[in-house]
Structures are given as structure tokens and as C-alpha cells.
Structure 1
Amino acid sequence: MRLLLFLLFIALPLTACRRPTVIKPPPAPANTLVDGTFISSGGSWFYAEKNTTATLKVDVRGPRVDWNYNYAKRNSSRSSGSSGTGSQMNLRSSSDPWFIYVETPDSLWLFDGVDNLTHAISTRGALTWNQAISLGQLEPDRGRIPPAIIPRLPAELQKLVPPGDAQRKRPSL
């Protein structure tokens, strides 16, 4: 009997003093899909601020780069627009110096490492594609190529970009 009372005396305070378990949500991931970022390896990049979220997932498999991009923006009237796409770049060699340049979270530039530079921009829930350089030829309606990209292009493509191109305004969409 004493043993039972002793156990009850010890167990009762231990069970009565339990604090409720509080489950905290995990911290929000840091923004990694930020202006000026060059991506040249596999991984995931994320951006979230106020009413905007964007994710980019890149998977490199030998001479193939698979990517998936999602962008969503909610305006002040609570309506939202989102766009998402996935595709791949087939490289000539797994050593080609491909990259994805984040001009802004809604504006990406994709270079295949040889002779194609593509601009992907999300506006009003739709993703628009523009070829800036196609098969080594500068496209006339390319818009402005960001100055940060030009030094990363091969020398023969750098020569194609007019000196004033960095200052040219992008055509309105």
C-alpha cells in the first residue's frame, strides 16, 4: 500500500505539471531566387514577398537540364494570377557553360551554353518567351539583354550585342 501511495504521490505532480505542446510552423525559407543570381547547377530556388511567390527547380542529368518555374502574384483586390512551366535545355556537352540568370523573380534568362539565349517573363499570370539569340544570331525584337549576362556569353556572341544594348529599353508588353 505504501508503494502505491508513493507512486501516486510522485506520478500525480508529474502528470499535472505538463505544459501544453505548442506546434510552431517551420520558419519561412530565405529568398534565394533574387535579382542578379546566376544559376548553373541543380537545386531549388525560392522567392516570397508580400503577395508574390516564385519557385525554380533545376535538375541536371548529364547533357540535359530540366527546370520547372512557378510564379504567382496576388494584387490588392485579392484576385491572383499565376504562371508555371517546365522544360529542358539539351546541351551539346555536359561541360557547356549553361546558366539561368535571375533578372528579377518574374524575369529569367536561359542560356544553353552555346548559341541560344531566351528570356522568360511572367506578366499578368502568363509566361512570355522571347529569343534574344537564336542559333548564334541576334534577334531583332530581343528587348534589352542585361549587362551582367554579356560577359558570361562566349566571345562570338558578345560581339553580336551592340554596345548600346545595355541602355536600350525593353519593349512594353
Structure 2
Amino acid sequence: MGWRAGAVLTVSLGLAACAGDVPPPTAELGAASQAVLAAEQAGAPRFAPVELQSARDKLAAADTAMREDKRTEARRLAEQARADAELAAARSQRALTQEAAGVVRQQANPPQAAAPAAPSTPGYGSSGGTAGTLGTLPSGSSYAAPSTVPPTTLAPGGAGWGGGYSNPEIRP
């Protein structure tokens, strides 16, 4: 059993030596700093202030961890700061795009005054308070009314077939 304990001790010391040799996360800190600047330029102070502040706080904590020689913690915080800054930039770009789309939509469809109601013209299928005549078509039509259908007057008010039906060829 002595050799097993020696092997475990050797492995443990080897891992501890590797943990002490963690390279400084200068690339991660630089990337996080650049991401924060990009988010600020993208409008994050206006559109994503919470995410931007989180990124700034984590970047400051990563700098502090780096000064205290806590390289693993500094790397983790720098990566989180970069992710928060990228989220802030993405939300800002989305909000700016939505604003621009709203402006374009408004310019493409300006508010219009209410369109006047179409006048009710007597004729085939007319309704709306005036008496219409079946068997005739609205003016401007290229189709002639059939000659075998006698004109029939609708009752005033568009009441249809009930009440005011009359045919000039049929006498009561």
C-alpha cells in the first residue's frame, strides 16, 4: 500500500504544480474590455444598462482577481464580462433596429384621413336607404341587362322582396 500512497501523492503534487502554472488571462481581459467598449458604442447605456453594468462590474472584479494572482478566477470573470457585454450590445442593436423599422413603417404608411364612404347608387344589388331596381346594372358596365328580365323595384330602404314588391306587367 505504500506505493499507492506514493503514486497518489505524486499525482497530487503534479496537479498542484500545474494549477500554479495557469497562464495569465490577458487575452480574455482584453476581449472583455473590447466587448464592453463595443456595447457602449452600440447604445447599451440606453437600451441595456443592466447588462452593461454587470459586464463592467465583472471586468473590474477580473482585474482585481488578476492583481491578487487569482488567475483562474480572473479568467472566469473576464469571460463572463465579455458574455454580458455581448448580450448588452445585441439587445442594443435589436432595439435600434426596431426603432428604425418603426420609422420606416411610419414613413411608408403615413396616417390618412378617414376615406369617405362610397356613395350608394341605385341599381343591381343596391342597398342603403334608396330604392333600387333589379334587372339593371350600375352605369359604366359593359354588360347589358337581360331583355327577358323585367325591371323590379325594391322597397324604399332596401327592404328586399318583402312589402314593396311590384311588377309593372302584373296588375293586382
Larger radius of gyration: 2
Output the TM-score relative to the length of structure 1: 0.25
More strand by share: 1
More helix by share: 2
Output the TM-score relative to the length of structure 2: 0.25
**Larger RCO of the pair (alpha carbons < 8 Å, separation 6+):** 2
